Structure 1
Amino acid sequence: MSCRTVFASEISASYRWMKRSFPSCLLQRLVLKPFREELKNTINARGIHPKLVGFLANQDPAALKYAESTAKTCAETGVVFELKKCNREDLEDEIVKANEEESINGIMVYYPVFGDRQDQYLQNVVDSSKDVEGLCHKSEIVGRPLAALLANDGGKVYSVDINGIQEFNRGTGLRLKKHEVVDTKLKLEDVVPISDVVITGVPSPTYKLPTSLLRDGAIAINFSTCKNFEDNVKEKAGIYVPSIGKVTIAMLERNLLRLYDYQMSKTG
């Protein structure tokens, strides 16, 4: 399994201003809280109960903590969340059952399960109409779905793995209906210094992104359960987020709501 590091190097002018002017705790109140309130109000106003099922088939304490955080956040916004624990050998069958269960609107799996290409296979077992994690792209566990989500929301994204760097974008002024992916010959040293936001997702405690590559004031977000930034990251980063927490869960809830509407349009 290849693990990717994603760099969003184009964000809106208003967000650039907020990044320079506000501390991270205030940004969370101004951006995350209103977003979650909007989700909650939408669900309550429509009187719906979208259901998300999470599968935990490993003994990773970080995955369990993430699942518990997911359950808490979903309860706060009105999403029905169910955590299903199973042996990894039974996971495929359990996913297939969830695919066929009409009451389940979204599915997520807490990776790694096997820690190899079998995880990629399992990701593709999830019905695309219920996959809250790979809503836009399913070829990788984390990197490509995240790159696609950011690009579709207007970002210019450099997605990096051991095989090279790809650029995701929707063109100037969002002229494209969906993101396009272009292979590049760029190196890590080329893209990090020009990126306003750097998101790492390497599941290895030995990997550290050099602080020296970050541009002054960049936003550094650690997407991995392992610490991917050096200890001195705050010397260069304007905002440092050591763990993904509620932000990612809120994005999963947004995806769940979109999938719910898609499913209802098919049955209605």
Structure 2
Amino acid sequence: MTIKPEFRVAAVQTVSAADWPSNRDQAAGLIERAAGQGAELIALPEYFCLMGRRDTDKVQMKEQPGQGPIQDFLRQQAERHRVWLVGGTLPLASPDADRIYNTSLVYGPDGECVARYDKIHLFGFRKGEESYDESVSIRPGSNTPQSFDAPCGKVGLSICYDLRFPELYRAMGELSLILVPAAFTYTTGSAHWEILLKARAIENQCYVLAPAQGGKHENGRRTWGHSVLIDPWGEIIDECPEGPGVAAGVIDQQRLAEVRASLPALKHRTM
């Protein structure tokens, strides 16, 4: 695949509801906005299709690989706008009847699915009355690490809580771009989101594109938002603080080369 000197990408930020039709329409409008701004790769956030009222809601919405309204929507949007579309996450069937895979699917401009990653690190948090345990309804994936080739170079896939595990990204090898669709809670996001994203960009000397959920949801949950594109030096290129929106910018091959030439940390690794 030919690498483009500049490749425009966009992170879509949503405030997803508890029903698929409204989430579909919100995502479609933001994809259209990003494509209209020239984005060639567009990434949706984790749970763009559903922020349910109960853990079991996502299980009831699960699809079989290759079929279902959510996958049809992603395929059609990629083909319609002729973009690389990263479908945030959606619930795919797993061997467990009561749990799903939290899956990120990537579609090429022709509408073909080119990559799949099932989230392996499952979020657990407890502080006062606030608590989460993704393992109740999600089965961890086993197909890691996952990446795909795009006109900006090699792109690494991850999801939300994966951000706290730097060894995942190291296992992918040299990357041009890391994707982190997320639904960080307001509590953890306000403390760690930007720090962790910048760290992953700096230590891997690549761009990081992180589309997020960002606002108050029908189920009472509040997500941090701040969808962002960060460059290999750890500088923020664009950011969407809260509410539905788009953060966009360019993957610049010259910038990648300059950072790696001035501080060749990737070549200095000894383990």
Q: Same fold (TM over 0.5)?
A: no
TM-score w.r.t. length of structure 2 = 0.36
Structure (1/2) with the larger helix percentage: 1
